[in-house]
A and B are shown apart, each in its own frame.
Chain A
Amino acid sequence: NITDSDPDGRLTVTDKDVKLQEIALAKNEGKELTKEEKQRLRKEKKQHKKNKKDDKGPPEKEKEKEKASVPAPSKPATQSPAHKAAPAPVHASESAAAAEKPAKSKAELRAERRARQDSERTSKHGKKEGGQQSASSKPKATPNELQPVVKRLPEHVQVDDPAALKKLAKKLERQQVPLRSDYGYKVSLFSHLHQYSRKSPPTLQISIPATVIHPSIVRLGLQYSQGIIAGSNARSVALLHTFKQVIQDYSTPPNEELSRDLVNKLSPYISFLSQCRPLSASMGNAIKYIKKEISNIPSQCKEEEAKGKLQACIDSYINEKIILASEAISKYAIEKISDGDVILVYGCSSLVNHILCKAFEKQRKFRVIVVDSRPRLEGREALRRLVKKGIRCTYVLISALSYILPEVSKVFLGAHALLANGYVMSRVGTSQIALVAKAYNVPVLVCCETYKFCERVQTDSFVSNELDDPDDLIVTRNGKSHLENWQTVKSLGLLNLVYDVTPPDFVDLVITDLGMIPCTSVPVVLRVKNVDQ
């Protein structure tokens, strides 16, 4: 029955039915799939994959360097099915690869892989071949070698591909994570992105007591999706604290290793969180770090000790990368603020607010102009914090930018992520501010911690972005709101972008905890960081 599997690797009808029944059963009982079931699934998958390879199986859309899902026979038998199906490079941990196999022969690939795995195994012992291969193999590559780093395309930018969606649905079902459906009419330019509504939270389909997802993760996911926790630092810190809680409550099942099992436990949580809101670059880096730390736990370590170590790691990560980094950045940035300055800030960046408060404490005389934009109106939060400190503030909307810019001497912007080609990914509107500031010859300084640097490259704001709830654009003025029934109007679409990218020629300086660098030095920093690790 396995020989007539269809091209993209779907199991035949009988297998699928059986599996679905199993999963449905498990869901109803609210337990995880028992060990036996898991083993059986694993065996079936292995068998299926083996036959797939023999038949010259389905082409994969993207090249994977790791090909971790394919070399089933060469992997050790203890690998779990979750890993085989979704051995995510943690930056794109939510993806189920709708990837294509390259046009090489299977034997060649297998040989290559074995050779590589052998060399990796010898170079770093104690490291298991789990999903960490993707994360760790890149930094393990020697700096002199230019490894072709071909990453899998993350799921959240493949919404227009039905095959990818199906894979995601399957994966989520297996992990017992609810699938969130899109809302409303999507502008055609952005049909490859998700668009969720805040009014339909992802927790509707979960039965709360009986779920595989840890309750603090559920809470965190809800906080993300409702916008209660927003801002990349806040989201990362909340995520790490929640992971500490999860690790605290974790207990290793018998016959399992903590280092491998805990990572498996985390995968459905991460899928759930990315269903609530797509992961940010900083969160991706944090997850990568945690998974690496977990997999580095030696097998002879006792559970309590391991847990303590992990919690200490998380604490030190938060301390180093976020808190101390912001102190270092403030120190550098304060040198750039002189008396009599008029500083323009946009939206609410925790880092920029911190810098301004520190500068004010150091008795610098300056005043601040806060620029804000609909529909999020985050600038009001920044305004409150600054006014509470006692800083003199002015407040305008972004459409009044040309009016207010002649007064401004410097622009300080925060960033969500810094991309490897020097582009700054930040809240939508940042690129506009940089553009107009450039036209008026006002220096633009971007403040960003190094843990937000990511290896992605992007040149425009379309290919990878986030669409927020379109209903936020509706406003009622004088008792009338024109867009109230926008769903009923056929040709009307509302677009609520969250991020945009600023080209590096608009940015004069990037202040990081490693120092003040130009925008184009981001890949240098990334390389240095990778070598260190």
Chain B
Amino acid sequence: EIHEPEEVSVWFREGSSCCQETLARNQRFTETPVNMPGADKETDLSERIESFLSELKRCGSGAGSLRGSAETARETTALLRRITAQARWGNAGELMEIIRKEGRRMTAAQPSETTVGNMIRRVLKIIREEYARSRGSSEETDQQESLHKLLTSGGSSEDNFRQHFTHLKANVIEAINELLTELEGTTDNISMQALEHIHSNEVIMTIGRSRTVEAFLKDAARKRKFHVIVAECAPFCQGHEMATSLCKEDIETTVIPDAAIFAVMSRVNKVIIGTQTVLANGGLRAVNGTHTLALAAKHHSTPLIVCAPMFKLSPQFPNEEDTFHKFVSPHEVLPFTEGEILSKVNAHCPVFDYVPPELITLFISNIGGNAPSYIYRLMSELYHPEDHEL
């Protein structure tokens, strides 16, 4: 009950313009007449979309992520496949329009959950590719908006998507299936690289709880013996869960409070962390406390390795002041039992931290290891520049 006011106010602050749009769209969907043949499909689809949106809104408040990003990514992609299959569209342009609209609603429901937006952009890119392939033109020429093309074509790419192709639907759905299989295998792909990076008798530090890092360390622990120090990451203390889970695989684990990060850093060989989002400049949006950890690692020249699957890569930049930070109820920090001083004190409880790319040594993703300076290139392969703004 206590979470409600904060959650709603966050949503309103960041998505107030979308609120009216959502209401309007809801009305449009529910007004569909019942006796039309496609009506069942549509109402079913809209129900699913609504339930997905409400789940997104609920999960976002407080207490970390109740569902991992991988799950969210999978569900988003599955939902997009359903939209492709069941919604009514004639050509690629219409489909992209529908997906964009739904995408805007989804990102508005939980702006901090960037995997939703990332998946939408991936699907849009898939549609573009399939369209281009159906049209017969080779993929490479349409891939990059080269300066030459911009000058000669005159920027009229919108009409290109108006042609109708019968097999476009099947192709797109097949491509989305491939994307889903890729998503299923990301954690395994990352864990397979664990032995290349962890040698025996190392002391590894991590912060909070990341399922990717957990799988990474457990995979390495099957063959090597090393020691893990987990910073508990107040106030949610997800590090405790991480530690107990690692101990089940007989990994020597120590839990330290956040204040001791710099004190023990001199004995740490590597820092391996997960992240919520990888930003377009190679920086991170990670759980709070990560920036301190990164600075301490830099001071001791300890390598900082980020395990992040590709679906976390987002074309956002860290400059937006209002939308970068997400806050939860300050009673996590200063509980209501503190009494009189509560009204006279501002308490803040930010959830995320920005880590600049200079502090990061390596990104390990399902397609291999990369330096932060290479992230912009990966992004251009995953997303089309026109889709950066949904």
Contact = CB atoms under 8 A, between A and B. Distances in A.
Contacts, number: 163
B65 to A, nearest CB: 14
B229 to A, nearest CB: 8
A400 B256 CA distance: 17
B345 A395 contact: yes
A393 B346 contact: yes
B220 to A, nearest CB: 15
A489 B255 CA distance: 13
Nearest to A373: B259
**Which secondary structure dominates where chain A touches chain B?**
mixed
Interface in B333-347: 333-334, 338, 341, 344-347
Contact of B333 (A396, A462, A482): A396
Contacts of A393: 344-346
Contacts of A489: 244, 247
B243 A400 contact: no
Interface stretch (B5-13, B145-153, B231-239, B380-388): B231-239
B257 A492 contact: no
Interface stretch (A415-423, A473-481, A513-521): A473-481
B250 interface: yes
A435 B299 contact: yes
Interface residues of A, number: 51
Contact of B292 (A432, A496, A497): A432
A482 B63 CA distance: 14
A189 B267 contact: yes
A492 B253 contact: yes
B263 A482 contact: no
B234 A395 contact: no
B257 A431 contact: no
Given A384-B341, A432-B296, A460 B266 contact: yes
Given A403-B288, A483-B243, A495 B260 contact: yes
B347 A399 contact: no
Contacts of B261: 432
Contact of A399 (B241, B253, B288, B296): B288
B346 to A, nearest CB: 4
A423 B144 CA distance: 56
A71 to B, nearest CB: 41
Contacts of A94: none
Contacts of A473: 232, 255, 257
Nearest to A477: B237
A482 B255 CA distance: 12
B231 to A, nearest CB: 9
Contact of B244 (A402, A435, A439, A483): A483
Interface string A473-514: 101011001110000011111111100110000000000000
Interface in A421-436: 427-429, 431-432, 435-436
Of listed B252, B253, B264, B349, residue having the most chain A CB within 10 A: B264
A398 B258 contact: yes
Nearest to B252: A491
A177 B247 CA distance: 39
Nearest to B244: A482
Given A491-B253, A496-B257, A477 B236 contact: yes
A111 interface: no
Contacts of B235: 374, 397, 399
A501 B262 CA distance: 9
Nearest to B296: A435
A492 B243 contact: yes
B271 to A, nearest CB: 14
Contact of B295 (A383, A439, A461, A491): A439
Interface string A454-484: 0000001110000000000101011001110
A103 to B, nearest CB: 34
Contacts of B289: 398-400
B259 A429 contact: yes
B61 to A, nearest CB: 13
Interface in A342-399: 373-375, 380, 383-384, 387, 392-399
A404 interface: yes
Bin chain B's interface residue count. Answer: 35 or more
A475 B254 contact: no
B96 interface: no
A401 interface: yes
Given A402-B291, A432-B262, A436-B291, A495 B296 contact: no
Contacts of A400: 288-289, 348-350
Nearest to A459: B266
Nearest to A391: B344
Interface in B200-257: 232-237, 240-241, 243-244, 247, 250-257
B234 A373 contact: yes
A401 B233 CA distance: 12
Contacts of B250: 490-491
Given A404-B348, A439-B295, A460-B266, A397 B258 contact: yes
A398 B63 CA distance: 18
Contacts of B348: 394-396, 400, 403-404
Given A374-B258, A435-B295, A395 B333 contact: yes
A460 B257 CA distance: 18
B325 A403 contact: yes
B344 A387 contact: yes
B130 interface: no
A528 interface: no
Of listed B63, B257, B264, B299, residue having the most chain A CB within 10 A: B257
A395 B346 contact: yes
Interface in A404-418: 404
Given A400-B348, A483-B243, A380 B338 contact: yes
A97 B15 CA distance: 69
Contacts of A478: 63
A396 B349 CA distance: 7
Contact of B240 (A387, A396, A482): A482
A382 to B, nearest CB: 11
B219 to A, nearest CB: 17
Contacts of A189: 264, 267
Contacts of A481: 240
Contacts of A141: none
B254 to A, nearest CB: 4
Nearest to B237: A475
B251 A491 contact: yes
A373 B232 contact: no
A516 B185 CA distance: 60
A312 interface: no
A187 interface: yes
Contact of B260 (A380, A387, A399, A497): A497
Contacts of A387: 341, 344-345
A187 B347 CA distance: 34
B353 interface: yes
B66 to A, nearest CB: 11
Contacts of B253: 491-493
A461 B257 contact: no
A386 to B, nearest CB: 9
Contacts of B350: 400, 403
Of listed B240, B288, B289, residue having the most chain A CB within 10 A: B240
Given A403-B350, A432-B263, A490-B250, 16 more contacts: A189-B264, A380-B334, A383-B345, A393-B346, A394-B345, A395-B333, A398-B234, A428-B257, A429-B260, A435-B262, A435-B295, A461-B263, A473-B232, A477-B237, A492-B253, A497-B264
Q: Which 3 A-B pairs have the closest CB atoms?
A: A429-B259, A399-B289, A402-B291
25 contacts: A383-B345, A387-B344, A393-B345, A395-B347, A396-B347, A398-B258, A399-B233, A400-B349, A402-B354, A403-B348, A403-B353, A429-B259, A432-B262, A435-B296, A473-B232, A473-B255, A483-B243, A489-B247, A491-B251, A492-B244, A492-B254, A493-B254, A495-B255, A495-B260, A497-B264
Interface of A: 187, 189, 373-375, 380, 383-384, 387, 392-404, 427-429, 431-432, 435-436, 439, 460-462, 473, 475, 477-478, 481-483, 489-497, 500-501
